[in-house]
Amino acid sequence: MPFPTIGGLVIDTGGVPVTFSTDPNTYEPLNWQKRHSVHMVIGGKIVIQDFGTFMRDNALNLRGAPPQFLDEPTVIALHTRFRTKGASYGFTDWIGNVFTVFIREFVPVPFRKGADQAGGVVSLYTYSMALRVLSITKLFNVTYTGS
């Protein structure tokens, strides 16, 4: 049985928000690649050019594996948003981050189908998801002022 969410992840289109039915096992919200170059020069020295980070360099990676599953209604809602061409979404997490993201990848994998206590059919999914940050409103619940 999945662990309960501790605050959840939400993707919102400005219409109906999709709240993840469980938190992911792996969540990398600050996966920035720093823009820089390293040059080896005469005499064994190194020159480093550091151009810093930019909000659009951030990529979010999520993965849900046993015992953290998504239920079928959540998978359908997320996959529908993934398939929408050129769409961007608001994204919030339990850390207090508020991003606008593009869903680069969403791969749900059926794990198990069974019956719930009321006799209804339940399907559970593991998943991986990759998001590209387009803008940052808050980082660690503080208004983001970077570029």
- Is the CB of residue 37 less than 8 Å from the CB of residue 48? yes
In this predicted structure, which of 58-62, 68-72, 82-86, 89-93 has the lowest mean pLDDT? 68-72
The whole-model pTM stands at 0.84
- pLDDT tens digit string along 104-128? 999 999 987 766 677 666 789 999 9
Cα gap 137→9, rounded to integer Å: 16
Nearest by Cα to 61 from 96, 104, 8, 97: 104
- pLDDT tens digit string along 1-53? 455 556 689 998 677 899 988 889 999 999 998 999 999 999 999 999 999 99
